[in-house]
Amino acid sequence: MSISDDLITIVLFVVAVTSIVIAVRNRRIQKRNEREAQAARDRENAIRLELPVIEAASAEVVGWVARREVMLVVAADPRSASVNSRAFLRTKALVEQFRALQHPGAGESRALKPFPAMVETAAGRIEVWLGRDSDNRRDYWVYYPRFSSTRAHAIGLISTDLLDAVELEPEADETARA
């Protein structure tokens, strides 16, 4: 009997040591995954700067930061888009237009009432507002609603006929007649 008691003790000891080794290994894997997740969150935060810091800057700096955020997202492979809260099927073509975003000049025309547009790519999701130009139907002023300054001032201009079929709200049409 003493051999079987010793054998049981040895087996239990091996099981206990194996369990401890597995627990230590799992803890190391968990810590590595937590570090990788934190690094991914840090990369995301590096792309999207904190609002209080940006809002205190000049309108030109805020516009530059907004254009940078938009460009970082649209530089990746497109996944989906919506315009005026409706799915937009020509996602790739729309993303190409955003990649060609022009700096807003000091023009005499103005934008009609903006409507929302959302683009999702492999790099993330970005929402902008598009305001059709009052003089040129192909031009759309691009606003970035994340910052108060870029809600009021366009961050860029795109020229496209992709959005001709977008139905504007009646207010925007009345503004155009005025």
Instruction: For residue 166, give the H/E element and its range.
Output: none
Specify whether the CB–CB gap between 93 and 117 falls below 8 A.
no
**pLDDT at 17 (0 to 100):** 95
Query: What integer pLDDT is reported at residue 106 of this predicted model?
Result: 66
pTM of the predicted protein model: 0.64
Q: What gap in Å lies between CA 30 and CA 40, rounded to an integer?
A: 15
In Å, how far are 26, 31, 92, 106, 143 from 132, measured between CA atoms?
Answer: 56, 50, 20, 16, 11
Cβ neighbours of 23 (radius 10 Å)? 10
**Which residues contact residue 91 at a Cβ distance below 8 angstroms, ignoring those fewer than 6 apart?**
78, 79, 80, 81, 119
pLDDT of residue 147: 84
- Looking at every residue in the chain, the average pLDDT score rounds to 83
pLDDT in tens, 142-172: 999 988 888 888 899 999 988 887 766 554 4
Helix (H) or strand (E) holding 33: helix 2-47
The segments of the chain whose pLDDT lies below 70 read: 1-2, 43-57, 106-108, 167-178
